Amino acid sequence: MKKEWSSKWKSSKQPRKQRKYRYRAPLHIRRKFVSANLSPELRKKYGKRSVPIRKGDEVVVKRGDFKGVRGKVERVDLKSCRVWIDSVKVKKADGSEVLRPIDPSNLQIVSLNLDDKKRVEVLARK
């Protein structure tokens, strides 16, 4: 099995090859891994099912301990493929609260941050 990442790789049934593809992917490819579903209203408006999450987007947690919690995205980490939301906090042993990372597949985008002109152009295309 080759050591470096290849864009020509299609798919495999072997979990180790699927993991290898994700772990070794460059950042411009990993950006697509941090995508989340759009709400039904946004789906109808933009004609897309999902888009990559960005800082400033408003999301709802659909799975896990924080199911139903709504908040703004504070941080997106492409290295670990995790998202931090301002209203999802856990208490540490010393009593302080910290943001908890969430997998983007468990989120649904409710409103988009449209400050960037390029993002608006991409959403306008079908």
**If you average pLDDT over each of 17-21, 74-78, 114-118, which comes out highest?**
74-78
Residue closest to 52 by CA, chosen among 70, 71, 77: 77
How is the beta sheet containing 35-38 ordered, strand by strand? Answer: 50-52, 35-38, 107-111, 58-61, 70-77, 82-91, 97-102
123 DSSP 8-state letter: H
Give the range among 27-31, 99-103, 121-125 with minimum mean pLDDT: 121-125
Domain locations in the chain as residue ranges: 35-124
CATH number of 35-124: 2.30.30.30
CA dihedral over 61, 56, 100, 32, signed as positive or negative: positive
Question: pLDDT, tens digit, for every residue of 17-66?
Answer: 888 898 999 999 999 999 999 999 999 999 999 999 999 999 999 999 99
